[in-house]
Structures are given as structure tokens and as C-alpha cells.
Structure 1
Amino acid sequence: MPLAPGGGRPYAWAWRRCFPGHRSQLLRERTLSEETRTGNPPLPFLLGRPQVSEEVTLLVTSSVVGVGAGLGAIALRWLISFFTRLSFSDLGGLLAPVLGRFHVILLPALGGLLVGPIVYFFAQEAKGHGVPEIMAAVALKGGRIRPRVALAKSVASGITIGSGGSAGAEGPIAQIGAAVGSTVGQLLKMSDERVANLAACGAAGGIAATFNAPIAGALFALELILGEFSAAYFGTVVISSVVASVVANSVLGSGPILKVPAYSLVSPFELLLYLLLGLLAAPASLVFVRLLYFLEDKFDDAKMPPYLKPALGGLGVGLIGLVLPASLGAGYGTMEQALASKLSLLLMVALLVGKIVATSLCLGSGGSGGIFAPSLYMGAMLGGTFGTLAHLLFPSLTAAPGAYAIVGMSAFFAGAARAPITSIIILFEMTGDYRIILPLMLATVVSTTLSQHLQRESIYTLKLARRGIRLRQGRDVDILQGITVAEVMTRNTDAARSDWPLARLEREFARTRHHGLPVLDEQGQLVGIVTLQDLERARAAEHPEQLTVADLATKDLVVAYPDEPVALPLRRMGARDLGRLPVVERSNPRQLLGLLRRQDIIKAYDQALFSRRLVTSTADKLRLVQLPRTQLAEVEVAEGSPAAGNTVAKMGLPRDCVLVWIQHEGQTIMPHGDVVLHAGDQVAAMVRTEQVERFLALFRDARPAEPPQAEPPMASDNGARAKQSVTPGQGVN
């Protein structure tokens, strides 16, 4: 959705231009009742005072999110240290006398045994590296993330990394910070754009605080989370990033994460070598990406309880750690050795391969952690290996291998994440060394360009693309990606029996006027699909009267699943020129749930397009309409309110109230009288000033015994009454 100046909803911005001060008045009325119930003036009340401008509100909220992200980074660092001591000192001290060096195998497995239930039963969003979940929440859910994700991700990642799992803290702290920002925005009842902005602020603050990199933290949020460098977001993201860095530095210190010797460009000839390093980093990073998702698929297909899979992956990590102990954990100490040119050629090659496999096992099995630190590790080993060979061949023309290790870190991560600006800046801030900028920029850009040519999706967007969600630059997503098959499929569809003769099938086609029917066996299980074309071909066969539906049905089916976006089966239908797909359960592909037809998708597209146009065109209408004593009221449906579970027509809306839009699970829908409202839905309406409190009461107070009586509709601009009568609670039709 395009943003108005300041980043808010376009129609809300236009309404503020027409009626200055209406939002402050509404926030004041909305929160006074909250203060009455709780006895304490909540933060929205303080922010809703007339003298507080929107700019000050954004400054305060982004700063609050920065403080929360900084504290989250401190807590995560403490958790990782705590579980590291618990695993390798306390538990390791007990196991080592019994198992010797083989106790290392058990530590990551035991960590996975604890992480699995936390992720599976408490917050499944905490699985894996976390950044794709933030990107999806910002693009499709208005930045709304469950608060429990922050707690689950903190504990699960602390255990994973602390027990030796091959993962980093970047993904976890970004998700923790984003959850903090999202929670603040939701508590303040902000718009989706503001909540998404605060989620990005939290991610930026988390990265900045963890790596002491405020500039890179801001760029990370803009380049990866939001997907655009917009003035509407830049200020708040930078503020949050700086505040989080200050908070973390006050506790953790302000020195660079990695200590490196001074390197510089020895000769112009080296630029050719750095260019070649960039060309090598791109395919190497893609090997890591593909192995990660290959193993994730294998673990997903494994016939075992999901909460036990991280333990199996941890066992594999432990086996690698037995041979290569330096591959365990985040590995910053080993990286510093590579940057100081202290590792041998063969050891760096072994650590590169071992780290790729260990990280893929750890995260692919469901462990919780980030890919940033492992990517830097792999890049350091790749660059160090390349630099060692280059220095052996051209000792007088090249710098020490450590210089190539620094450049390799940036090039490898940029190839995997497609974030060249973030890669360059974060290496500068982590090392405190700006003297090798030219080769670092060259290799990073070359790696990014080549990796985009070799594979369209990054390590972050590939996870979403596999779910049917494809984010474009600027996060403008296909409108069908926000609609699931279950929302638009035809349920209780007609079906043919597999033992029917052709004459019976012909009568069924004539009765239903369908061009295709699913075929069920005697037990009601799906066995195929039959079309009119199949029937026509069967008529031309010898002895068609001896054929049954089972003889001509297509049994090699292309199916759809109820939880996937409509955009995904639409591509399957286009590739095979199909007019319909049976919708089945993932766990039981023979259980027919419904049928997805082309007309269903067309209808869904029309509805989604209308919703988008409704939102974007409301701003233009509000610029032209200037009604006296009228406000744009925005409210969330509370659990147990008169609105929850009721249709719009039966709510009992007050006089002079017209619903503008309803948002349900991130989708904007047209307010019809038969639309059912649910707890958590967002509702906006044009309401007379004197009716605002009565309108808000429908969404927050206890359910009344009798609904309010019907009242006349609101007068139009010229003072005449609307011709259409309004029943109790009827909205815009």
C-alpha cells in the first residue's frame, strides 16, 4: 500500500489534512475509557494529547523500541554466555570423564532436544533463522508479530548457539527486536504501516546493538526488511538503531566485534584477484543456500515428531564438531584467527566445508539461530584460502591472506543475502577498518550480481518463495499472495463415483453444467478427476458402454492445499493449462476438501483488487469531502464485545455512522451487512463527533442485553437524507 507523507495510511493522512486535530481527539476519547477501566493512564493517552505532534510521537515510539531492542540484545548475549558455560563447562565437565572427547557429540543434540518443544509448542515462528518471518510479517500482516515470539526466540537461540549449534545471533536478535517493535505498535493501536515501521525499527536496533553497528543496523532494516530506502522510514529506523547501540554499549562495551590487523591495497593488480574472489564467493554462497534448504526438506519429510528433529540435526553437528571443534557455535574466535592470517590452507578448506554442512544441519533440522555469523565464517575461510594461494603465487604483489578473508566475509554474505550495502557497511563497523574499501566493494558487488544471475531468490526470500510468497523490490506483493486457497475454493462440490458407467457420468455433467468433476471411490476417497474432454474421447472408443469413470479419469493429479496462497496453484494451473484443481489435505492427499476453479481465482482477484483500490482511493475522496463535526474513527474489535462474532447488520451502529473498511487477518474487505466481525479485526468508520464514544463502545464494552434501535442514516453533503434505508447496524453496501 503506498504511504502518505509521514508513512501513515493514505486516507488517514488526507483526513488529517481536511480535519486537523481529529486524530488527537479520537485517541483521547479512545484512551480515556481505557484509563477509567484500569485506573492508569496508558501510553496512548500521553501520546494522544493535542500538543504532541505526529513527529514527536514517532520519535518517542522509535526510541522506546530502540531501548527494547538494546535490552533484548543484552539479554540474548547473556543467554548465549549462560548456556555456553552450562553446556561446555558444567555439563561438559560431568560428561568428559565418562565419554572423553566424544561428549562433544551429545551437547548440540541435547540442545536440540530442548529447542524442539519450545519452538513446536510455544512459537513455531522461532524456527530457523527468523529474518524471512519478519519480511513476511511486514509485507503481508502489517508488521504484526506475536509478543511471545521474542521470548521463544531468545531462549531457543540461546540454547542452540550455547550448546554448540552452528548458528549466529543476527536472525534471532532481528526477530526479537521486530517482535518488540510490533508489540509496541499494537499496544498503541497504530496503523499497519506504523506497526510495520516499528517492527523494522526493532530489527534495526537489534542488529545495531548486537554487532555495535548502528549504520549497518539501519541499512539492514531498509534494505532487507522493508525493501526500500524511503524517507518515510529512514528517520525512525536510524533513531531506533542509534538508541539501541547506546543502550547495548553502556553494558557490553563499545569496541569492535572483530580485531583485525591493518590491511591496505598493496598494488592495483590485486583488484583483479579481489574480482576473482567475488566470482568465487557467489557460487560458494549458493552451495550453502541450496544445501540448507535441501536438508530442511529432508527433515520436514522425515517420519518422526517435529519437536525431535532439532536433536537429530544437533547430533550431526556434534559429529562434525568432534572432528572440527572450531566449527561449533558462532565462531568469532576462529574468524579472528583467519583475519590475522594464522590458519593453515588445509584447515581453512576443512572448516569451510564443515561449517556449511554443520549450519545446514543445525538450521535445516529446526534449530533456532541466524545465518549471518556462519556466512561471515564461511566467507573468511573462503577468502583466507584464496588469499593464501594468491600470496604464495604473487608474494610481492598481494597483501597477507587476512585481507582476503575480510573481503571474502562481505562477498559471501552478500551473495547469500543479496544485501551488498549492508554487507559492506557492517564489515566496516565490525572491524573498525576502512582502509580496504575498494577491494571490498568490488568483490561484494561482483558476488551479488553473479549470485542474482545464478539464482533469483536470496537465502531469505527463498524461504518465502517456497511458500508461494514472492516479495518484489519495495515489497509490492502479488495481491493473490495474501489470499489462501481455503478462502476461495468451492466446498461441497459435486463429484463422480469411480464405478459409474459413461451414461451416468454424461447425465451428471448435464445436470451440474460443470466441465470437470473429481472422482471418488466407494470410501469417498479422491482417486482422480474427469472432464468433458475425457468423456468425448471415451465415446470414440470401442465398446464405450463397457467403460466406467475409473477407466477414463486422470489419476496423476495436480492438487492444491488449503493453506497455500492462491498465487501458487494458479501457476500450476497455467503451466498445465488446467481449469480446476482438487483441494486436499497435506497429511492425506486423498481427502477431498473442495475444488479450486478458474472462476474462483478470478473472483478472489476481483475482491483483492477491489480491496486495494478501496484503500488507495479513499484518500482522494476524503480530500474532497469536508463534513463538519465528523471524525474518522479506527478501532480494534475486542474479545467479548458486542461486535465480536456479530454481523455488521446486527451490531446496532449508532446514528450518523458509515463504515469505511474492515481488516481481517491483514486483508481489507468491503463492509457489507452480512460480514461477520471477529476479535482482532480492525474497523474504520466515518462518525459524527458526538457519536464517537457510542461507536467505540460497541467494540470494547461488555455485550449488552438489547441492541440499540435503528436510527436514520447520516445526511449527505447537501443535507438530503440518503435514499436507501439503514437497518440496525447496517453499514455501507
Structure 2
Amino acid sequence: MALLVGAGAGLGSVAFRWLITTFTHLLSGHADYADAGHAANGHVPWLGPYFVLLAPVVGGLLYGPLVDRFAKEARGHGVPEVMLAVAKRGGRINPQVSVVKALASALCIGSGGSVGREGPIVQIGSALGSTAGRLARVSEHRMRLLVACGAAGGIAATFNAPLAGVFFAMELILRDFAVEAFAAVVLSSVTAGVIGRAAFGNTPFLVLPPFHVDHVAQFPLFALLGGLAGAAGVGFTRILYLVEDACDWAWRGPEWLRPAVGGLLLGVLLLALPEMYGVGYPVLEKAVHGGYLPAFLLLLLIGKVFATSLTIGIGGSGGVFAPSLFIGAMLGAAYGNAAHQLLPGTAGTTGAYALVGMGAVFAGASRAPITATVILFELTGEYTIILPLMLAVVLATVTSRLLSRDTIYTLKLRRRGIDITAPAPQFGGKHVSAVMENPPDPLPAATELTDAVERLHMPGNGVLPVVSASGRFLGTIDACQVTQALADGADDDLEPPPTAGQIAVLTAHVTADMPLSAAVAVLASTPGTPVPVLDPGDHHLVG
């Protein structure tokens, strides 16, 4: 299953990047408009550079109704929804999210939305993993694992960074480093990485020059940069949600129209600062190579913070990982310039500070230090930068924790009253067997649906378990499933009507020896629905 999900995530990444390239060329006339200056769109040259006022509006008119009608969870940066699905919903994600998210994010980025592609590809891969788990009727634990496999595969393929994909999934999605989980996620990441390299070549998604740390006196400079980057990550997080709150307060119209109307404001910003168009990797690379003056670097930093915040606030769809790297590169390059002016013989190259700043700001925003360290190492291939990078990333993480309780991902959930980091309640060591109730008499798998209807009509039998001839638990059925199956069968006189075993769904369940503290997550993800209790040995229904 991990191999299949990895392959699906890899192919999804290829398709998603193709969609971004296609829509960017259609709506801007360039492969990547961020580095084109104030150039005109070749498709509408008579508009000159002013086409950027209309591009976000056109994109919003396309993806706004799409998201509002088919998958509202595709709005925003995506990763919090995946974290919530794994932590609270048993890994269940709406299967149509993958298609809607791919189209909406590609349209948003292609029309000038200043967001990244990692959030969408994580949500796309995770939705594929959840769908595969649902079709195979795997347990809830395995469903969560397949979601993480999809996330890892998406990151690995789209960024050609298989190690970063693994640690992103383990550190942020699963928040667990168990051996079984690690093995499955690695398999998925490798599979997706092979597909990504076959499609995009064996090169990183950013082309960065080699850098070296030549003087031990540079380490205090990197340490100070880590503290500044941690504060910048927290500042980016707060401004992002402040702008989103302002957009929520100001907008009074239908949600499907919000991206198009808000796109006018984004277009004004893009007209003033075209470097904010789309993901902005060419601008990031140029900054790392020392192509901008310090004052303009700070302008790009501020511009990116507000451009990304505005894109998300108006209802855009895209990630915040790439903007974090962008902000870190601008901060690091400006800091490196200042250090070189003050200590010309000691500070070293500006590019090294830009690279370290990229990882440190992402660590400050996400509080994922392992992922931040690994992805920058994969990007550069320079082992000599690992020590200053680790130092800055850890200090950025500590600074972020001192300044803020939440990360850029968890704050979105906490604002909705959901705390995925809260410790599980304590139940004094009790197990499920201590509180389970006797189950209703199960239906044999061969039971005809007309007979099942009579049982479902009886009080207290809204959901009935279904067992095989050997007594093995197969799943549950309810009145809605039976009604739909009977309606479908009425249209086809050639096929025999299905039985209870054929329509049974393997829902979330627990085992009798499971601690109550572990069962709470399952109960929370299935409110109002009876949760079957199975014998841990032979998978028979016991409560």
C-alpha cells in the first residue's frame, strides 16, 4: 500500500507541477513571471504590465466557485487540514480534495497568488493515501499511516527531496517516529522520488551555489541569525492570521466571489512588486547569489509576508512553506550583507547566511527543526553548512517557542477550537474492556438486505455489526447504506441483490485491551456513532 500511495503521490506531483506551469503561462505569458520585471503578457500585449491587475481576478473567478462548491477544505494552505485528519479523524479525508486542491492551487499560483506548492501537494498526496486506505478497508492506524505516506511522497517528488519528505511526514503529520511508520513512509517517499526524478531530472528544485563556513568566529553570527529568524517566523505567522481576520471582517458577499474581488488588491501589490508573482523561486535564487541590494531585500521580505497573507486571506489556495523559505532567504541575505560590512574579513559569503536563514525561518514558523535541517542539506549537498544550520535552526525553534504557543500550522486549528497538541486525558490505567457494552446480535454476512431492514427498524439498532461465517468482524451497516443498496439494485434486474457482507464498511474500531486514553481519539472522530470493540487476537466482536 505504501508503494502504491507513493506512486500515486509521485504522479500527482508531476501533474500538479504541469498544471502550475500551464496556468502560469496562460495567465502571465511567462514560464515564471516573478523574474520578468514589469514585462507585458504576450497574450494581451496591449495591456502592458497592467495585466497583473486582472490575472488574480480571472484566477479567483475560476477557483473560487470550484472550492466553494466541491471541497471547502481545499481553501488555505492545506497542511493543518491533514494534521487534523490524522490527529482527530482517523485519517479520513474527502477523496475529491486531491482533484479540487490541484486545480485550485495551480490556478491560484498561476494567476499570481504568492503562495507555495508544498501545502497543496501534501494535501493531494494525503487525500490519495486516505482514499486508498478507504478502498482497502484498512484499520484506522493504517489509514493514518497511508495519509503520512501520501504527504511524504508529495514532498519527495515535487521538491526532489526524499529525505525531507520522510521527516516532514513524521515530524509534522504523524508526529511519531515509530519504526513501522518510518519504514512505510520511506518506501512511499522513495517510490515518489523515483517518479519525480524521472519526470524532472536529478536536480533540486532550487539551484544554489556551494558555500563554505571558513572561520569559527562566524558561528556567533549564525546563532544571532537563528534568533532573528525565529522571531521572523512568529511575525509571519501572526501577520498571516491578522490579515486573514481583516479579510473575514471586511467581506460580506458570497464566499465563491471573495477570491476574485480580493484579487484586485493582490493585483495592485503585484503591479508595484512583480517579484511577488507566484512561488518566486527565481527571485529567491537571485537573492542567494547576491543579486539584490540590502534595502531591496528587506522590501522583498515585507512584500512576501503581505502578499502571502493577502493571498490566503482572500480565499486563495497554496502553501506557506515556500514563502517561509523566501522570507528566510531575504532576511539571511540582508543580514549577511550587514555582517560583511561590519566584519569584512570574518563574516564570509552572504549566500551562506541566506541559506541558513531559509531553514531557520521555516523552523521558527513551523517548529519542525529536523525537516528544516534536512531539506536545506538536500538542497545544497554541502555538509559544511550543517553545523551552522543546525545551530540557527535550533535557536530559531527555541525563540519561536518562547514567543508563541502555536506554529503557523497549529494556530489555524486552535482558532477553530481544536488543539491537536493537548495531552490525552488520564483514565487511571483503565482499558476499553472496563467500559464497553454488550453489542447487538451481529448480522451474518449472507443476510439479505430485506431481512436487515427489519433488524434496523428495531429500537437501538441504528447501526448493526456484520460478521463472516467464522465469526470474524467485517464491518457495520446502517439504514442509509441499506436504502442506497436496495435503490441501486432496483435499477438492475440482472444482478442479484447484495447481502449485508457485501455492503458492510469497516469503520473505526478499538480493541478490548486498548487503554481508554488511546480510545478517546477514535471516539472523538466518530461522534454519535457506536464504536465496535474487537478481541485483539482473532478480531471477533466483543462489545
Same fold, judged at TM 0.5 (above): yes
| CA distances 1:139-185 after superposition (whole Å, capped 9, x unpaired) | 11110111100000000010011111101110000000000000000
Are residues 690 and 330 of structure 1, via their aligned partners in 2, closer, same or farther at CA, if it must alter by over 3 Å? closer
CA 416–696 in structure 1, closer or farther in 2 if over 3 Å, else same = closer
1:92 positional shift:
2.8
Letter in 1 for 2:7: V
* Compared CA separation, residues 466 and 264, structure 1 to 2 (3 A): same
Q: Rg: which structure is higher?
A: 1
- Matched residue, 1:712: none
1:328-407, aligned counterparts within 5 Å?
Answer: 328-407=277-356
Q: Residue 642 of structure 1: CA displacement? A: 6.7
Identity %: 46
1:689 aligns with 2:470: yes
Partners of 1:617 and 1:228 in 2: CA distance? 28
Whether 1:461 and 2:410 are equivalent positions in the alignment is yes
Say if 2:125 and 2:151, in contact at 8 Å, map to a contact too.
Answer: yes
Number of positions where the alignment pairs a residue of Structure 1 with one of Structure 2: 475
Q: Residue in 2 aligned with 1:192?
A: 140
TM-score (norm 1): 0.60
1:93 alignment partner, one of 33, 42, 48:
42
Deviation per CA, 1:231-274, whole angstroms, max 9, x where unpaired?
A: 13111111000000001111111112222222111211111111
The question of 1:81 aligning with 2:21 is answered yes
Question: Hey, what does 2:460 align to over in structure 1?
Answer: 674
The residue that corresponds to 2:432 in the other structure is 614
1:36-72 superposed Cα distances (whole Å, 9 cap, x missing partner)? xxxxxxxxxxxxxxxxxxxxxxxxx000000000000
Kept after mapping to 2: 8 A contact 1:470/1:478: no
Q: Distance in 1 between matches of 2:116 and 2:99?
A: 17
Q: Which amino acid aligns with 1:676?
A: G
Aligned twin of 2:510: none
> 2:462 is aligned with what amino acid?
V
C-alpha distance in 1, partners of 2:202/2:348?
Answer: 29
Residue by residue over 1:506-540, the C-alpha shift from the partner in whole angstroms, topping out at 9 and shown as x without a partner, is xxxxxxxxxxxxxxxxxxxxxxxxxxxxxxxxxxx
Tell me the TM-score normalized by structure 2.
Answer: 0.81
Q: Which amino acid is the alignment partner of residue 97 of structure 2?
A: V
2:505 aligned partner: none
| Structure 1 residue 299, shift from structure 2 partner | 2.1
Amino acid in structure 2 at the alignment position of 1:324: L
Inter-partner Cα distance in structure 1 for 2:434 and 2:11? 38
Choose which of 243, 246, 249 in structure 2 pairs with 1:298. Answer: 246
SS at match of 2:346: coil
Residue 96 of structure 1: how far off its partner (Å): 3.4
Please list, as runs of the form range in 1=range in 2, the aligned pairs for 1:455-604 lying within 5 A after superposition: 455-472=404-421
Per-residue deviation, 1:312 = 3.2
Alignment match, 1:7: none
Alignment CA distance shift 1:692-1:423 (3 Å)? closer
TM-superposition CA deviations, 1:688-733 (whole Å, max 9, x none): 617989998997764999x99xxxxxxxxxxxxxxxxxxxxxx989
- Residues 449 and 616 of structure 1: CA distance in aligned 2, closer, same or farther (over 3 Å): farther
**1:477 CA displacement:** 5.2
Distance in 1, matches of 2:245 and 2:444, equals 43
Alpha-carbon offset, residue 228 of structure 1 = 1.4
User: SS at 1:128's partner residue?
Assistant: coil
Tell me if 1:62 matches 2:11.
no
Distance 2:282 2:178 in 1: 37
Q: Which amino acid aligns with 1:263?
A: F
Query: Can you give the 5+ residue segments of structure 1 that lack an aligned partner in the other structure?
Result: 1-60, 480-608, 622-631, 651-672, 678-682, 709-730
> Matched residue of 1:436: which SS?
helix
The Cα shift of 1:374 comes to 0.8
CA change 1:688–1:462 in 2 (3 A) is: same
Q: Secondary structure at the match of 2:128?
A: helix
* Distance of 2:71 and 2:197 partners within structure 1: 30
Q: Name 1:437's counterpart in structure 2.
A: 386
* Cα shift at 1:106: 1.5
Deviations 1:470-518 (A, max 9, x none): 1128xx5569xxxxxxxxxxxxxxxxxxxxxxxxxxxxxxxxxxxxxxx
Question: Within 2, Cα distance between the matches of 1:702 and 1:616?
Answer: 38
Distance 1:294 1:103 in 2: 28
1:693 to 1:387, Cα distance in 2 relative to 1, 3 A: closer
- Structure 1 residue 297 displacement after superposition: 1.6
Post-superposition offset of 1:440: 0.6
Moved over 6 A (4+): 615-618, 632-635, 690-701
Q: Is the 8 A contact 2:468 2:474 kept in 1?
A: no
Between the aligned partners of 2:166 and 2:266, the Cα distance in structure 1 is: 33
Which residue matches 2:57?
A: 109
- Quick check: 63-72 or 685-694, which moved more? 685-694
Distance 1:641 1:468, change over 3 A: farther
For 1:447 and 1:690, the matched residues in 2 are separated by 55
Whether the 8 Å CA contact 2:462–2:478 is kept in 1: the answer is no
Name the stretch that deviates more: 82-91 or 354-363: 82-91
What is the rounded CA distance, in whole Å, between the counterparts of 2:450 and 2:339 in structure 1? 71
Give the match for residue 413 of structure 1. 362
Distance in 2 (CA, whole Å) between partners of 1:133 and 1:294 is 20
Is the alpha carbon distance of 1:616 and 1:295 closer, same or farther for their aligned partners in structure 2, counting shifts above 3 Å? farther
Aligned partner (choices 256, 269, 286) of residue 217 of structure 2 = 269
Q: Greater helix share, 1 or 2?
A: 2
| Counterpart among 126, 142, 147 of residue 95 in structure 2 | 147
Residues 427-436 or 247-256, more deviating: 427-436
CA distance in 2 between partners of 1:143 and 1:327 (Å): 35
Separation in structure 1 between the aligned mates of residue 240 and residue 50 of structure 2, nearest angstrom: 26
Query: Of residues 380, 386, 400 in structure 2, which corresponds to 1:451?
Result: 400
Aligned to 2:158: 210
Provide closer, same or farther for how the CA distance between residues 641 and 448 of structure 1 changes in structure 2, counting only shifts above 3 A.
Answer: farther
Q: Within 1, Cα distance between the matches of 2:182 and 2:118?
A: 21
Letter of the 2:137 partner, please give it. Answer: K
Aligned position for 1:288: 236
* Letter matched to residue 75 of structure 1: A
Matches of 2:91 and 2:471, distance apart in 1: 33
> Match of 1:81, as an amino acid?
T
Q: Which has the higher contact order (CA 8 A, sep 6+)?
A: 2
**Structure 1 pair 478–156 and aligned structure 2 pair: CA distance change class (3 A):** farther
Equivalent residue in structure 1 for 2:149, among 179, 201, 204: 201
